[in-house]
Structure 1
Amino acid sequence: MHIQLLLITLIVVFAAYLGASSGQEVPACESSCGNVSITFPFGSGPGCYYSPDFLVTCNRSSGEPIPFFGTGNVVISNMSTSKSEMEIMAFVARDCYNTSGQAGGIRAWLRLRDFRVSTKNKFVAIGCDTQARVSGRRGNVSDGIGCISTCRRNSLIANGSCSGVGCCEASVPEGIRSYNITLRSFNNHRNIINFNPCSYGFFVEEGKFNFSTSNLRDFRSVEKMPMLLDWAIGDLTCDVASQNTSNFLCKGNSKCDQDYAGPGYRCNCVEGYEGNPYIENDCKNINECERGNHDCEHECIDTEGSYTCSCRKGYSGDGRRDGTGCTQDQSTLIKVVVGTSAAAILLLVFVTWLYFGLKRRKLVMLREKFFKQNGGLMLQQRISGDISSNDRAKVFTIEELKKATNNYDESRIIGKGGYGTVYKGILSDNRVVAIKKSKLADQTQAQIEQFINEVVILSQINHRNVVKLIGCCLETEVPLLVYEFIPNGTLSDHIHEKGNTLAITWDIRLRIATEAAEALSYLHSAASVPIIHRDVKPMNILLDDDYVAKVADFGASRLVPMDQIELATIVQGTLGYLDPEYLQTNQLTDKSDVYSFGVVLVELLTAKKALSFDRPEEERNLAMYFISSLKQGRLFHVLDQQLQLNEVPNEIIQVSRLAERCLRVRGDERPTMKEVAMELGGIMASMIQKHPWVQSSSNEDEAEHLLSKLNDDHFEHTNETNTNVNSSTFDSMNQHSILAISSGR
């Protein structure tokens, strides 16, 4: 049975060899694998490659297709038929020692037939107690190269230098078809194991590795390095191989490279042609005239494999800059002078007309420029199909907003944030608004997208506790947003500035926390597309005259696709409020907002800033200090003294426990914002039932509405600190795994 399978395999391989030897592309052959183009003599299926040495195996088991060299596990990163080169990811040899001097290592070797190690590579060894050697074969002759690298703790090791101190290198001789890298230690790294326990050896393409002193400790994670291989067809020279015309690949506009000394032969497209020289009739004519690759003074005329030049009327010559060029006739010169004078007069008249015309159009053109520069076209595309005509944000003109802000007078400034300045404005219909003017900076693409992101997100939000977007203006050099005006400042102003905390009592703080939680819950689970705010903090919670909370500043927010629970993003936010899990993994989830909101709850309880270097070291990070105090039973000592408490009410204990759950390091142990909002609503409803006088008359209807809502929903509240929290509001996302590539050593 095994003999039959072997015969079948040999027949298939032989048939593939014969089918591909003609140098013709087969329509069924794959042209690419991942980011690597596959073209003859390479191929990935029967009849697609010249010989088994040119087989490319495309592995699609791990998601993104990965091309492998032959049937082994050497990854191909690039290949070129014009240069007869292929770049692979070659394995790094490793020899490591522990404190007892015991070694453990990984070998690196490669066996080639029609391929050779390119002289464009360098052999590099890293280590402080290292003797590296490469045993190779050049045809039937054994050969070898190597180098020695030593150093001590006080050695002068220089970055970028591989002179033998910490790193050494050797040039690659021509024609190596196979190699085996071996590493040895003079003293088992015994005296230097604390900072250099390992030796490494590898081939790498010149210019793609720059030694750093840090490599002596942390190079262990590097398993492969880019390395170039040269290749040729067979073992016969051009003259011998061309005698067998049926198997000779250099045909049509392809010629055999006589400068290549072998073994084997290489094909090149003849001058004036380009393409794959190993495929008959694939070398196509280059149109030098269209590409500008010519030296014609006047007109270029393309010909097959070349081009010619012609002179304009009144001139003669070969038309080439490196030849006789184009010489002007005397009679033609007089005509040129007269024509030039007339043209100069006409040009003067035209320029004068153009100047005044451009001056009249300058304002219109400038506004169009700023509209495009500020992402107007991008904004139109993103919101055109998402907002109904009744809810569409108004587009204001420059004049309207200048008039509303008294030409952006400094006395109208009501706040400055990370992304711009906010002015108080009065529109023509007497509406009071807040106008956000983004910072100018360098007008980068990231800043434009940040601005458009905020417009799109706010356009999709309709909630009483989220600041309302009224419109925008794109005609100015910096983009502008127009919001509803929230008159009572930020929550940060009221809990951190002296004199303001007395006015914001505990019942007001609890209501603000509940309203902010409801807004975030809406963003996470009730909006048409879930939204993660990503910068929840008291500075971004505004208060109106009745202390109603309004969540604001969506410049850093992200829309979350419905089929994902997390997003891989660059970490963004404010220190002291950043989710530690997000900071470590770069994976943004709705639980990141929950952590930030937990810090806001602690600030409402303590009236202390989230991060302050003026406090003792153990108190600098408010969240950590609060959790520590809660565990030690010292809650009363960290509460805001302005609350004037003789003892800690049950409502504050419940909120403190809720804050502790929000601040847990693992996101899956935190509650969702919907659960946080419901729990705060339950605490507030319980407090109203026990102490109905805590609510002012202006909020009685709201309290009754909240109580009825809680009763309708059959809300059940628990004070258990170890509450099991359900997964995020969003659906599960696709899991991406990285398959380990085993060494073919």
Structure 2
Amino acid sequence: MFTWEEIDNATASFSLKIGTGSNGTVYKGHLNHLDVAIKVLHSDDKSSTKHFNQELEVLSKIRHPHLLMLLGACPDRGCLVYEYMENGSLADRLQRRKGTPPIPWFDRFRIAWEIGSALVFLHSTKPSPIIHRDLKPENVLLDRNLVSKIGDVGLSTLMPPKETLSNRTVYKKTGLAGTLFYLDPEYQRTGQVSVKSDTYALGMVILELLTARCPIGLPEVVERAVEDGQISDVLDESAGDWPVREAHDLAQLGLNCLEMRSKDRPDLNSVVLEELGRLKRIAASVSGVALPGSPSHFKCPILKTVMYDPCIASDGYTYERSAMEMWLCDKDVSPVTKARLRDKTLLPNLSLKSAIMRWVAEGGRPVKE
């Protein structure tokens, strides 16, 4: 936990505002030698207090490579401290606000899979599955390498532990929570929320990744393009030369997630994530990066590409942090030796990172293999 004095000092008296939402304001700060994002919730708003308690309860118990990491809090003043995401929100980048460069098409396939994997993780938490309920591009943050992480779990619903996978539905007596255009139609009509509610929102995000268009009327536009075999007409041209077949498949998957009835939407884990994984692998094979003549120890043993954030695991080997964090989500053995890891601690390999940065500065750069 942090004191108010530490929060005030970290933000230079809240001098750098980087975002504002319905529940609070976000400032950039510097704490314990790290850049951080500090959300200060509206102090006179009861819903903000609930938002704070919910976010603290959820994020203090879970860790996933594609969920925004909570670093601490200042409960007395309703402050939440998160890791800082250099590239802002997915919404900002899709709309290219402040002149930011477009997200390449192959990164968009990967981002869709990352979001899906985080949702599957939330839905699989024990003893209580978690439904996000407010997934949208504004709540997906991007780090310096465009790795995505879902944030803003303050509206999430913790399901009763006794509910089964096929019957995770809760009736909400309070008003609807979430954002129009991403809200499950069944939830709007009945007040019942389920894991398929997040599937619906993911479908809309997928269509926005493909088109970079406003969500108003977007499903109808994409559906018409798919039916006419003209998906290229609606793709975001700034993303580069899309592979048409895979873009069509991703669009169809997004539309399937947007079915009006939850029972008609595909299962997130066994169908949606599997298909997103297939498309991600195709994208990686087409755009896989390697550096010509790069030293082998610069490459991650998992990704086979040059590392940007190398970290040392307990097996003594160095990996790209995001790849190793994903590996450790469901494995406790070394990716290299297959022996059981002593622990899951990851330490930054600063000397290797410095060497890679020097090498890149001297002319090394990612190219297609």
With the shorter chain as reference, the TM-score category is 0.7 to 0.9
Q: 1:510 to 1:482 in 2, by over 3 A?
A: same
Structure 1 equivalent of residue 224 of structure 2? 628
Shift of 1:509: 0.8
User: Equivalences for 1:120-159 in 2 at 5 Å?
Assistant: none
Structure 2 equivalent of residue 416 of structure 1? 20
Structure 1 equivalent of residue 143 of structure 2? 544
Structure 1 equivalent of residue 284 of structure 2? 688
Q: 1:676 to 1:503 in 2, by over 3 A?
A: same
Shift of 1:563: 2.5
Hey, which of these two has a bigger chunk of strand by percent? Answer: 1
* Runs of 4+ that moved beyond 6 A: none
Shift of 1:502: 4.7
Q: Is the 8 Å Cα contact of residues 187 and 193 (structure 2) preserved in structure 1?
A: yes
Distance 1:501 1:638 in 2: 21
Q: 1:627 to 1:562 in 2, by over 3 A?
A: farther
Structure 1 equivalent of residue 13 of structure 2? 407
Distance 2:81 2:8 in 1: 12
Q: Is 1:492 aligned to residue 97 of structure 2?
A: no
Q: Is 1:662 aligned to residue 257 of structure 2?
A: yes
Q: Is the 8 Å Cα contact of residues 636 and 648 (structure 1) preserved in structure 2?
A: no
Q: Is 1:426 aligned to residue 27 of structure 2?
A: no
Give the TM-score normalised by the residue count of structure 1.
Answer: 0.38
Distance 2:265 2:100 in 1: 29
Distance 1:644 1:468 in 2: 31
Shift of 1:628: 3.0
Shift of 1:673: 2.4
Q: Is 1:598 aligned to residue 180 of structure 2?
A: no
Distance 2:63 2:236 in 1: 34
Letter in 2 for 1:414: I
Q: Is 1:555 aligned to residue 154 of structure 2?
A: yes
Structure 2 equivalent of residue 464 of structure 1? 65
Hey, which of these two has a bigger chunk of helix by percent? Answer: 2
Higher RCO, 1 or 2 (CA under 8 Å, sep at least 6)?
2
**Secondary structure, in 3 states, of the residue corresponding to 2:255?**
helix
Letter in 2 for 1:397: T
Letter in 1 for 2:38: I
Letter in 2 for 1:608: R
Shift of 1:413: 0.8
Shift of 1:500: 5.6
Structure 1 equivalent of residue 359 of structure 2? none
**Secondary structure, in 3 states, of the residue corresponding to 2:160?**
coil
Distance 1:426 1:517 in 2: 31
Distance 2:98 2:45 in 1: 40
User: Equivalences for 1:146-295 in 2 at 5 Å?
Assistant: none
Q: Is the 8 Å Cα contact of residues 524 and 590 (structure 1) preserved in structure 2?
A: yes
Structure 2 equivalent of residue 652 of structure 1? 247
Q: Is 1:579 aligned to residue 174 of structure 2?
A: no
Distance 2:265 2:154 in 1: 25
Q: 1:436 to 1:403 in 2, by over 3 A?
A: same
Q: 1:699 to 1:484 in 2, by over 3 A?
A: farther
Distance 1:636 1:413 in 2: 38
For the aligned residues, what is the CA RMSD?
Answer: 2.3
| Residue of 118, 128, 152 corresponding to 1:519 | 118
Q: Is the 8 Å Cα contact of residues 40 and 79 (structure 2) preserved in structure 1?
A: yes
Shift of 1:688: 3.3
**Secondary structure, in 3 states, of the residue corresponding to 2:124?**
helix
Distance 2:75 2:221 in 1: 45
**Secondary structure, in 3 states, of the residue corresponding to 1:475?**
helix
Distance 1:530 1:436 in 2: 25
Deviations 1:226-260 (A, max 9, x none): xxxxxxxxxxxxxxxxxxxxxxxxxxxxxxxxxxx
Q: 1:419 to 1:499 in 2, by over 3 A?
A: closer
Q: 1:406 to 1:484 in 2, by over 3 A?
A: same
Distance 1:536 1:640 in 2: 21
Letter in 2 for 1:663: L
Q: 1:463 to 1:544 in 2, by over 3 A?
A: same
- Gaps of at least 5 residues in structure 2 are 292-297, 305-322, 328-369
Distance 2:98 2:290 in 1: 21
User: Equivalences for 1:309-328 in 2 at 5 Å?
Assistant: none
Shift of 1:701: 5.0
Shift of 1:672: 2.5
Structure 2 equivalent of residue 454 of structure 1? 55
**Secondary structure, in 3 states, of the residue corresponding to 2:251?**
helix
**Secondary structure, in 3 states, of the residue corresponding to 2:198?**
helix
Deviations 1:557-578 (A, max 9, x none): 1111132310112321111111
Structure 2 equivalent of residue 203 of structure 1? none
Q: 1:699 to 1:415 in 2, by over 3 A?
A: farther
Higher radius of gyration, 1 or 2: 1
| Identity of matched residues, % | 37
Q: 1:577 to 1:473 in 2, by over 3 A?
A: same
User: Equivalences for 1:332-347 in 2 at 5 Å?
Assistant: none
Distance 2:208 2:303 in 1: 24
Distance 1:452 1:426 in 2: 23
Q: Is the 8 Å Cα contact of residues 688 and 703 (structure 1) preserved in structure 2?
A: no
Letter in 1 for 2:147: V
Deviations 1:313-333 (A, max 9, x none): xxxxxxxxxxxxxxxxxxxxx
Deviations 1:179-232 (A, max 9, x none): xxxxxxxxxxxxxxxxxxxxxxxxxxxxxxxxxxxxxxxxxxxxxxxxxxxxxx
